[in-house]
Amino acid sequence: MRCVEAGAVNDSYGVYLGLDVGKGDHHAVGLAPDGKRLHDAALPNTEVRLRQLFDKLARHGRVLVVVDQPASIGALPVAVARACGHQVAYLPGLAMRRIADLHPGTAKTDARDAYVIADAARTLPHTLRRVDVGDEALAELEVLVGFDDDLAGEATRVSNRIRGLLTQIHPALERVLGPKIHHKAVLELLSRCGGPVGLRKAGRRKLVSIAAVHAPRMGERLVEQILTALDEQTVTVPGTQAAETILPRLADSLRDVLRQRDQVAGEVERMLDAHPLAPVLTSMPGIGVRTAARILLEVGDGTAFATPGHLAAYAGLAPVTRRSGSSIRGEHPPRGGNKNLKRAFFLAAFASLADPVSRAYYDRKRAEGKRHNAALICLARRRCDVLYAMLRDKIPYQPRPATPIAA
């Protein structure tokens, strides 16, 4: 997403239209370059009314349409504005809240928010971000990735529920099955046999036959661990009978969610194959299909960022300098930034520890006394510079020889 150029905005637009978008109605405020109000009224969220307003304001000159949400409930105004030939930008929520504090009054109304958006476009154009133009593939990809995020949250919720039930009625069994709760063999055992009572009743031969279908190598070992864990507890905890009926349903639910995630991943991969930057992103160690899709959605082609440092700051990976006289000095981890992008970089850095180059840099940071998470953040910051160069030059990752640290 590009920042809107300050000079171009102030010189070339005759109307700055701020839209505080809503589900059924928006509120629109149009300002002239000198601050005069050209329009201030509610606006139904329909194509006909949007076109009428855009055509009316276009008589005063070029129109810059600024929204506070470019997607979801703001998708229709953005699409209609583009169809009418107007440029579209959006004001990030944090910037909007800070700018709103500069205006008199403490009321929180749609009309005031729309005015703040329009006035920011007129006087503070550097706070705006341009909405990526005309990339239908990215719009489709964003819907799929959003759905995958929802599925991931549901999978986490259900798996935590299963582990919580097992911990409540049989802690020893949870220690065996909990770390492998997403494995197909574990879910099949829970689905067909239930909890500790059902597993003990099934017997070793049946458990091995069930587990071997989905885990040919570890099936017998997994069953032995389960039987050993079952022998560690002889008492029956209250609630076990109800858990025996709930665990199979939870296992089926988790299995269905994981199956949907696999299907969505296949659709995302097919969509990524059509994007020219996908091979560049996935060539970097630790970046898979889901991570590449998230980076592509948040960063685009990288041209919105002048330097690697700008990208790192946007991702929340650049340290923040805090200096005040002689009492406060030094740099601290940032608390802001794009949370989704920061998480993608962090997970990619963790996944890249199998790569010799990334592992050598991580080990060097650990040798300097940094903890695990701090060393991963440093690695993510370094990989951010490499990724910026890859996107800028549109070339795949080119590994360099790793330099091991001295013992």
pLDDT in tens, 144-154: 998 999 999 99
pLDDT at 337: 78
Rounded Cα–Cα distance for residues 57 and 82 (Å): 15
Query: Which residue ranges form the domains of the chain, and what is each CATH number?
Result: 6-134 (3.30.420.10), 141-270 (1.10.287), 278-393 (no CATH)
Confidence of residue 52 (pLDDT cuts 50, 70, 90): very high
pLDDT at 132: 58
Q: Is pLDDT of 254 > 80?
A: yes
pLDDT at 206: 95
pLDDT at 360: 93
Give per-residue pLDDT as tens, 318-331.
876 666 666 555 55
pLDDT at 333: 64
Confidence of residue 29 (pLDDT cuts 50, 70, 90): very high
Give per-residue pLDDT as tens, 195-227.
999 999 999 999 999 999 999 988 999 999 999
Calculate the average pLDDT of the chain.
88
Residue that has been written with the tokens 């629109």 in this structure: 28
CB 29 within 8 A of CB 40: yes
Angle among Cα 253, 256, 259 to the nearest 5 degrees reads 150
Confidence of residue 71 (pLDDT cuts 50, 70, 90): confident
Compute the average pLDDT of residues 172-187. 95
pLDDT at 7: 39
Lowest mean pLDDT, pick from 256-260, 366-370, 398-402: 398-402
Share of the chain above pLDDT 70, in %: 90
Q: Is pLDDT of 406 > 70?
A: no
Q: Is pLDDT of 192 > 70?
A: yes
pLDDT at 8: 39
